[in-house]
A and B are shown apart, each in its own frame.
Chain A
Amino acid sequence: MSEKQNTLVAQLSEISNALKIVEEKRFSSTLSPAQKRELEQASTVLRDRERELLAQIGQEIAQSIKTMGSQLTLLSKKIRAKTKKMSYTTQSLNKVKKALLLVKKLSQSF
């Protein structure tokens, strides 16, 4: 895991802990309405940061999957090209057959 990925995971853990603390305090009956509002605001800011981190981690995962497999894609293309080439003779035989049938049709008309 790279340093960046390490940081993201560590930050997510920190945010998760901070959210736990804020959520515990947010509903305390000893708080004034202004304090409640402030804590709710703080909680939503933490939730936004949590979402940002989750999105970044998700992108890292998608990226690591995408970087694999370019060589296998090339090989699949190569297989398809060879398969196509194998059917060329059949196509040319078909053309010869059609030409012969045309000659036969013409000779019948004499």
Chain B
Amino acid sequence: MKTKQSRVFSFACQVFVIVILSLTSCGSLSKVQIKSVGSFANACDSFNRYPSLLLAQIAQIRMERGLFYAASLSDPQNKINELNSIFEAFEQDMKLASKCDFSLKILKSYSYALKVLTSDGRWKSRGVEFRSLGRAIDSLVIETNKLNIFEEQLPVGVAKSAAKIVAYGAETLLKRKQHRLTRAFVSEADTLVQALVLGLVQTLRSPQLTALIENEKNGLPLNYKSFLMSLNSSTPPLSNTIDYDRKYLQLKEQCSKLTYSRGYIISASNRLAKTHKELAKSLYNKKEAGEVFEQLSHLIEDIEMLQKQFKYIVEAEW
């Protein structure tokens, strides 16, 4: 009787394992594919705040050149009014700048959701719980046997073995579900990510932003000239302006960097969209995983370039 039971149990286990293995083979993502999703999510995390930093940089230059202009005014009341207006405008500009990270915040939230979805913990924890449940049942069986409630001793170890098989099955099924969801979500998100990045790039390339940058480039020498002319008309004229000249050159350098910074953000944003497209494609075709990693390495290079470009602004903020 006991032999027959164990045969049935063994057969059931074999069938279960075959079913699980057949399920695993179809529809699962490889480790490389899952890793590429994680790497993309990490790259998205590093790609943040740059549009707002660009606008913050413009605001800082505007404030500094405004100070040159204010110093050129002779009437004290005009000077105070100008300084107050500069202060208010700077505050408003910085608030506005922070709003420009909206699209990147959304991307970040999406990448975080992807990271959580693809983490090993999702399916590993299920297996751990089943195994632990099997052990709990077995220890309960041992305790029950000690109490001699039943005529025959209950078999020990069956629950533990069964739980191991069930845990493996649960892990496999959950992993498969996780992979199916990842594939579906990344595909669904691709059109949205492309549209989001396209919108961001269009805004960055817009004539309005060009106008803001050009206005600072033209306004800086004009305001500095007014400042120098006001110094000349003062009595006695201030001859040594080396410190102001140095400040002017620093601002001029920042002005010329604005266009490059904008270009770097556009380039990295386009790269991000392209990488996501490759990622979505690679989840359906294991052969294309290599292409994703190539795009990812370019994306990381672009992001590093951005970090370098904006390093001094981030440092200045802290």
Instruction: List residues of A whose CB falls within 8 A of some B CB.
Output: 1, 5, 8-9, 12-13, 16, 19-20, 23, 26-27, 29, 36-37, 40-41, 44, 47-48, 50-51, 54-55, 57-62, 64-69, 71-73, 75-76, 78-80, 82-83, 86-87, 89-90, 93-94, 96-97, 100-101, 103-104, 107-108, 110
Closest B-chain residue to A29, C-beta based? B233
B147's partner among A12, A75, A110 (CB-CB below 8 A) is: A110
Interface residues of B (CB under 8 A from A): 51, 55, 62, 69, 73-75, 78, 81-82, 85, 89, 92-93, 96, 99-100, 102-103, 106-107, 109-110, 112-114, 116-117, 122, 125-126, 129-130, 132-133, 136-137, 139-140, 143-144, 147, 170, 174, 177-178, 181, 185, 188-189, 192-193, 195-196, 199-200, 202-203, 206-209, 211-212, 215, 218-219, 222, 225-226, 229-230, 232-233
A selection of 5 A-B contacts at a CB cut-off of 8 Å is A1-B206, A5-B208, A27-B226, A58-B96, A64-B202
A26: chain B residues at CB < 8 Å are 226, 229
A72-B189 in contact given A36-B74, A61-B55, A83-B117 (Cβ < 8 Å): yes
Closest 5 pairs between A and B when the two form their complex, measured CB to CB: A68-B199, A79-B113, A27-B229, A93-B129, A69-B106
**Would A19 and B222 count as touching, CB distance under 8 A?**
yes
B110 with A79: CB separation less than 8 A? yes
Is the Cβ of A82 less than 8 Å from the Cβ of B133? Answer: no
Of A50, A73, A78, A104, the contact of B143 (CB 8 Å cutoff)? A104
When distances are taken between beta carbons in the complex, the residues of chain A under 8 Å from B93 are 54-55, 58
Whether A55 contacts B92 by the Cβ 8 Å rule is: yes
Known: A48-B85, A82-B117. A59 touches B226 (CB 8 A): no
Given contacts A86-B174, A94-B129, contact A75 B74 (CB under 8 A): no
- A-B contact sample (18 more), CB < 8 A, given A58-B55, A68-B200, A75-B110: A1-B207, A9-B211, A27-B233, A55-B89, A61-B96, A65-B103, A68-B103, A68-B195, A72-B106, A72-B196, A76-B109, A80-B113, A93-B130, A97-B132, A97-B133, A100-B133, A104-B139, A107-B144
Instruction: Give the residues in chain B near A103, CB-CB below 8 Å.
Output: 140
A8 — nearest CB in chain B belongs to which residue? B208
Instruction: Say whether B136 contacts A100, CB under 8 Å.
Output: yes
Alpha-carbon separation in the docked complex, A69 to B269 (Å): 14
B208 with A82: CB separation less than 8 A:
no
A19 to chain B, nearest CB (A): 7
Residues of A close to B125: CB separation below 8 A: 87, 90
* CB-based contact A79/B89 at 8 Å: no
- Cross-interface CB contact of B99 among A12, A50, A62, A78, cutoff 8 Å: A62
Which of B102, B116, B117, B133 is the one whose CB lies under 8 Å from A96?
A: B133
- Docked complex Cα distance between A1 and B232 (Å): 44
| Minimum CB distance partner of A68 in chain B | B199
Q: B207, A23: Cβ atoms under 8 Å? A: no
**Residue of B at shortest CB range from A70?**
B106
Q: Which residue of A lies closest to B133 (CB)?
A: A97
CB–CB A76/B110 < 8 A: yes
Task: Report B-chain residues with C-beta under 8 Å of the C-beta of A94.
Answer: 129
B211 contact set on A, CB distance < 8 A: 8-9, 12-13, 57
Judging by beta carbons under 8 Å apart, are B92 and A65 in contact? no
Q: What residues of B have a CB within 8 angstroms of the CB of A93 in the complex? A: 126, 129-130, 133
A90 to chain B: which residues have CB within 8 Å? 125-126, 129
Return chain B residues, CB-CB under 8 Å to A104.
136, 139-140, 143
Chain B contacts of A57 at CB under 8 A? Answer: 208, 211-212
Residues of B within 8 A of A86 (CB): 122, 174, 177-178
Check A69–B117 contact: CB distance below 8 A: no
Taking the nearest CB of chain A, how far is it from the CB of B249, in angstroms? 20
Question: A65: which of B100, B133, B140 is its contact (CB, 8 Å)?
Answer: B100
In the bound complex, how far is the Cα of B99 from the Cα of A87, in angstroms?
35
